[in-house]
Amino acid sequence: MISGINNDNDLEFIERELQEREKSNNLRQLNSVYPKDAVTVIKNGKSLINFSSNDYLGLSKHPKIIAASQDYLNQYGTGSTASRLVTGTYDIHEKLEQKLAKLCGKESALLFNTGFQANTTIIPTLVNQQSLILCDRLIHSSLLQGILLSKAQWKRYKHNDLNHLDKLLQKAILQGYNRILIVTETVFSMEGDRSDVDALIQLSQQYNTLLYLDDAHALGIMGEKGMGLTANKSGIDISLGTFGKAIGSFGAFITTSKLMRDYLINCCPGFIYTTALPPAVIGSIDAAFDIIPRLDQERKYLLQQVNYVQNKLKNLGYQVLNSNSPIIPVIIGDEMQALNLSQYLEKNGILATAIRPPTVPKNTARIRLVLSSQHQPEHINYLIDLLQQYHEF
Ligand SMILES: Cc1ncc(COP(=O)(O)O)c(C=O)c1O
């Protein structure tokens, strides 16, 4: 044995952690499903209506998108074979970036392999030890990981409380930071509520900060032509969109200035040191953005259904957060009770996963219901009936 090494190196720490999670009903397991259609999965041989996926418009099964993906696969092959800066930039990557920039009303766009990769590696590229990051208390883990990886100091403001952010900014500008970066989401992934993008831009301009907005859950379903809540707005340094949610595919992009794009191409490790997105994925995204601007009816229907479900569940006595997005969090509190409700729904044909700490704050375990424009009124009414029976029982 080499002296100086604590020989607790026998992986006991892993067992302890997993046992701890099991004891607090927070142990995670992978459950395999087969996606039969946009709102149905087969799990253990049983058909379930899916109220947990982020496929808000059902595009993962759209025949034109699948055909475009196959077409790019046939033309360009299965992989991009290198990073973007080596030989992984094809014309299809560049054309897609130009198309996204144009649709979003921005100077330029840059693809990333995932939203997680973008958030964790762009944020540290924007700041250093002399900088300060101010972020919303409830930001997504990928943003938080990016902040933790950066060498900057950071503080959180109360959820969606821009007066609190203003107060922190007033103090911060007196403290000699070289840069202040504001980081938040436009639609919060676990709460479903929105931030006030115009007010954030205004604060960022007033205090001369950088502004980083994660628009993952708005893209496709909100804003003009579904291009998100940051589209066509100036004053946002970086806006992130992901393709794994309403776009029904995989990957992410940012819209930004040409200058910032050049900086990230040169300095952002999560862009530089990774293989470019594969052609089949680019094909599906490209086709999805031909379709999305025309889906106003679907977007309208979706938000009507959100209103309907929220009102019904509130009337039944559920604690439903006031979201104005297809994400409807039903707060249960206790982890075991959230798991019990999820299991009851599954027994009766509905997939609605329980979300537990640390993904959400302690004592706020929840069922995160997610609506899709492909859910028919009978799917939705069936969900409400089941929740009513559960509540009465
Ligand atoms: C707000 C937010 N940002 C970023 C991500 C990560 O995106 P991706 O799934 O592309 O890694 C997610 C997805 O879970 C998210 O909800």
Q: What is the pLDDT of residues 252-267, one digit of tens each?
A: 999 999 999 999 999 9
Residues with catalytic function: 54, 140, 185, 189, 214, 217, 245
> Any idea what the CATH number is for the domain that residue 330 is in?
3.90.1150.10
Question: How far is it, in rounded angstroms, from Cα 90 to Cα 67?
Answer: 20
Q: Are residues 48 and 102 in the same domain?
A: no
Residue 2: its pLDDT value, please?
Answer: 54
Provide the residue range defining the domain that includes 305.
29-57+295-392
Q: Are residues 261 and 302 in the same domain?
A: no
Whether residue 253 lies inside any domain: the answer is: yes
Last residue of a domain, one of 277, 293, 309: 293
Whether residue 48 lies inside any domain: the answer is: yes
Q: Are residues 388 and 333 in the same domain?
A: yes
Q: Are residues 164 and 193 in the same domain?
A: yes
Q: Is 55 in the pocket of ligand 1 (CB under 6 A)?
A: no
Q: Look at residues 21, 51, 30 and name the one whose alpha carbon lies nearest to residue 387.
A: 51
**What's the 171 CA to ligand 1 centre distance in angstroms?**
31
Last residue of a domain, one of 235, 262, 293: 293
Whether residue 19 lies inside any domain: the answer is: no
* Token pair listed for 155: 């503080």
Q: Are residues 241 and 355 in the same domain?
A: no
Interval 304-322: pLDDT, tens? 999 999 999 999 999 999 8
Whether residue 10 lies inside any domain: the answer is: no
Q: Is 364 in the pocket of ligand 1 (CB under 6 A)?
A: no
Give the global pTM.
0.96
Q: How many CA atoms lie within 13 A of 180 on its CB side?
A: 24
Atom of ligand 1 nearest to the CA of 119: 4
Q: Are residues 109 and 139 in the same domain?
A: yes
Nearest CA, atom 4, ligand 1: 115
Whether residue 339 lies inside any domain: the answer is: yes
Whether residue 1 lies inside any domain: the answer is: no
Q: Is 215 in the pocket of ligand 1 (CB under 6 A)?
A: no
Residue 271: its pLDDT value, please?
Answer: 98
Q: Are residues 223 and 206 in the same domain?
A: yes
Angle at 375 between CA 193 and CA 282, to 5 degrees: 75
**What's the 53 CA to ligand 1 centre distance in angstroms?**
13
Residue 275: its pLDDT value, please?
Answer: 98
Residue 3: its pLDDT value, please?
Answer: 54
Residue 119 has φ and ψ, to the nearest 5°, of -65, -40
Atom of ligand 1 nearest to the CA of 251: 10
Q: Is 54 in the pocket of ligand 1 (CB under 6 A)?
A: no
- Of 116, 117, 187, 190, the one to substitute when testing ligand 1's pocket (max ligand atoms within 8 A of C-beta) is 116
Last residue of a domain, one of 256, 273, 293: 293
Interval 90-122: pLDDT, tens? 999 999 999 999 999 999 999 999 999 999 999
Q: Is 252 in the pocket of ligand 1 (CB under 6 A)?
A: yes
Q: Are residues 321 and 186 in the same domain?
A: no
Residue 10: its pLDDT value, please?
Answer: 81
Cα dihedral across residues 262, 265, 266, 270: positive or negative: positive
Residues of the chain with confidence (pLDDT) below 50: 1
Q: Are residues 184 and 333 in the same domain?
A: no
In the chain, which residue ranges form alpha helices assigned H by DSSP? 12-23, 63-76, 91-104, 115-126, 141-149, 162-172, 197-206, 258-267, 269-272, 279-291, 296-315, 335-347, 377-392
- How would DSSP label each residue in 15-67? HHHHHHHHHTT--------EEEETTEEEETTEEEEE-S---TT-GGG-HHHHH
139 in helix, strand or coil? coil
> Any idea what the CATH number is for the domain that residue 270 is in?
3.40.640.10
* Token pair listed for 2: 């080499």
Question: How far is it, in rounded angstroms, from Cα 180 to Cα 152?
Answer: 9
Whether residue 7 lies inside any domain: the answer is: no
Atom of ligand 1 nearest to the CA of 243: 10
Q: Are residues 189 and 331 in the same domain?
A: no
Question: How far is it, in rounded angstroms, from Cα 229 to Cα 221?
Answer: 9
Q: Look at residues 321, 326, 327 and name the one whose alpha carbon lies nearest to residue 300.
A: 326
| Beta bridge partners of residue 331, listed in sequence order | 319, 366
Domains identified in the chain, total number:
2
Q: Is 242 in the pocket of ligand 1 (CB under 6 A)?
A: yes
Residue 9: its pLDDT value, please?
Answer: 66
Q: Are residues 249 and 306 in the same domain?
A: no
Q: Is 115 in the pocket of ligand 1 (CB under 6 A)?
A: yes
Question: How far is it, in rounded angstroms, from Cα 267 to Cα 262?
Answer: 9
Whether residue 9 lies inside any domain: the answer is: no
Q: Are residues 50 and 188 in the same domain?
A: no
